[in-house]
């Protein structure tokens, strides 16, 4: 369920600060929101607020499968993220736990036994991403050698600079994840420190690339119907 208030915010919510909030408060069911994901450990925004100074809540989940591949990388963010475990079983973060991430932190399936039977273990969380009031805000995806832990790949991106979509904006760090995996997998993945040949990262299990593709397709399709409407003599934009 997603609801949006119709009441004026200037007088009723002054406790947010001087003048009240600049955007309408919204609510969403985080569990129902899982239905919109394209894969495990894909962060999916709950609201379309990605601007300077915004708090961006996203949902993410994972569950066990018997043939789970190695899924591990490091993430850097100028702004610390806050993780709220909404529900879990067989996971380090128990239901209701709140965790503040270090600016550099490891990312896995966050399950004690990720290779257990299908969905025997799972975790579902909300991650609060904080956007700086102004650029730059650096995020990075980092791969370390699975043998000696040496950094073998890193891609940094300013989160305030993303593709200029005309209708539907995207969560910028997801494109970072997708691009970093593609670039890493195209290298020889040989560690310069110990010579170990690292495995490809299993991009197929996450929804990052699908997310960026669907954003692009939604914008393209919306543009095509706008164009078709104009050619048919209908003026203005279609209802958003």
162 to 40, 99, 135, 159, 181: CA distances (angstroms) = 23, 28, 12, 7, 18
The phi, psi pair for 213, rounded to 5°, reads: -65, -40
Predicted local distance difference test score (pLDDT) of residue 21: 67
H or E, element range at 191:
none
Cβ 154 vs Cβ 141: under 8 Å: yes
Predicted local distance difference test score (pLDDT) of residue 230: 87
Residues 64-113: tens digit of each pLDDT: 999 999 999 999 999 999 999 999 999 999 999 999 999 999 999 999 99
Predicted local distance difference test score (pLDDT) of residue 7: 47
Residues 6+ apart with CB under 8 A from 32: 1
Numbered ranges of CATH 2.60.120 in the chain: 41-231
The single residue listed with the structure tokens 């309408």 is: 24
Q: DSSP state, 199? A: P
For CA atoms 103, 108, 113, 118, give the dihedral sign. positive
Q: Is 169 exposed, middle or buried (0-12, 13-18, 19+ CB in 10 A)?
A: middle
Cβ 143 vs Cβ 184: under 8 Å: yes
Predicted local distance difference test score (pLDDT) of residue 50: 82
> For 162-169, what is the mean pLDDT?
88
Predicted local distance difference test score (pLDDT) of residue 2: 41
Predicted local distance difference test score (pLDDT) of residue 5: 46
Question: What value, to the nearest 5°, has the Cα angle with vertex 141 and ends 136 and 144?
Answer: 140
Residues 172-220: tens digit of each pLDDT: 899 999 999 999 999 999 999 999 999 999 999 999 999 999 999 999 9
Distance CA 15, CA 23 (A): 14
Residues 19-50: tens digit of each pLDDT: 666 777 789 999 999 999 999 999 999 998 88
Q: Is the pLDDT of residue 235 over 90?
A: no
Residues 65-79: tens digit of each pLDDT: 999 999 999 999 999
Q: Tell me which of 16 and 60 has the higher pLDDT.
A: 60
Rg of the chain on CA atoms, in Å? 20
Residues 117-152: tens digit of each pLDDT: 999 999 999 999 998 888 899 999 999 999 999 999
pTM for this model (two decimals): 0.85
CATH number for the region 41-231 comes to 2.60.120
Predicted local distance difference test score (pLDDT) of residue 10: 47
Predicted local distance difference test score (pLDDT) of residue 15: 58
């Amino acid at each position: 369920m997603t609801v949006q208030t119709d009441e004026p915010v200037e007088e009723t919510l002054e406790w947010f600060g001087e003048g009240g909030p600049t955007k309408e408060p919204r609510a969403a069911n985080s569990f129902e929101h899982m239905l919109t994901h394209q894969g495990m450990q894909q962060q999916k925004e709950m609201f379309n607020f990605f601007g300077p100074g915004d708090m961006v809540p996203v949902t993410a989940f994972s569950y066990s499968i018997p043939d789970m591949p190695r899924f591990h990388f490091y993430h850097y963010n100028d702004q610390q993220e806050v993780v709220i475990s909404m529900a879990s079983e067989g996971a380090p973060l128990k239901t209701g736990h709140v965790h503040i991430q270090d600016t550099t932190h490891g990312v896995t399936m966050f399950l004690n036994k990720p290779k257990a039977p299908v969905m025997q273990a799972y975790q579902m969380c909300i991650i609060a991403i904080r956007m700086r009031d102004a650029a730059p805000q650096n995020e990075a995806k980092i791969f370390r050698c699975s043998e000696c832990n040496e950094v073998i790949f890193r891609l940094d991106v300013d989160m305030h600079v993303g593709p200029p979509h005309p209708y539907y904006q995207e969560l910028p760090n997801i494109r970072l994840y997708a691009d970093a995996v593609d670039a890493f997998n195209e290298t020889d993945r040989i560690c310069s420190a110990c010579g170990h040949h690292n495995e490809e990262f299993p991009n197929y299990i996450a929804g990052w690339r699908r997310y960026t593709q669907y954003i692009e397709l939604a914008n393209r399709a919306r543009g095509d119907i706008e164009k078709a409407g104009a050619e048919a003599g209908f003026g203005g934009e279609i209802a958003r």
